[in-house]
Amino acid sequence: MGSSSVKKLTHAQIGKAGELLVQYRLLLMGVESSQMTTDTGIDLVAFLPESKTALTIQVKTNLRPKPGGGKGAPALDWWVPCTTPADLVALVDLQSQQVWALKPEELAGMAQQKSGGRWHFYVYTQATSVRARKPWSTLPELETFLLQNRSL
């Protein structure tokens, strides 16, 4: 999904595309999921067949990387409420079609900032000379958090 193939999308369309990408990735893992009808901080409910349990997921989506700080190296960033009721937070980049899955407590420990009751987590899309505050500030460092690499 190159940037030239993407028309101007609304915020709602970007969010829905992220939810659908997460559902697609889950289905490839043999996990059924369903979208919620209203926005309560839970976007998807997934059924884990092995444990016969349900897992709630909040999805946060980026259309594409943007300059960090407005002028810096390309970065993805997500704002997640500190009080998310979800069991798992899915962080999506539509351009690369990647999905990272973190438990809220993992996100709390990894987020670079906390402001206004939200965690701000960002990651640079390429090696950069910017001094990173935390060790997971570039995409290769997040590989273990890719949805397909997580055991649910």
pLDDT in tens, the chain (152 residues): 454 555 789 999 999 999 999 999 999 999 999 999 888 899 999 999 999 999 999 999 999 999 877 788 889 999 999 999 999 999 999 999 999 999 999 999 999 889 999 999 988 887 655 555 556 677 878 899 999 999 88
Q: What is the CA radius of gyration of the chain?
A: 15
CATH fold for the domain made of 3-149 = Trna Endonuclease; Chain: A, domain 1 (3.40.1350)
pLDDT for 69 equals 74
Residue written as token pair 């996990």: 31
pLDDT for 127 equals 66
Burial class (CB in 10 A: 0-12, 13-18, 19+), 133: exposed
Reading the block at residue 75, the tokens are: 């970065």
* Rounded-to-integer distance, Cα 48 and Cα 86, Å: 15
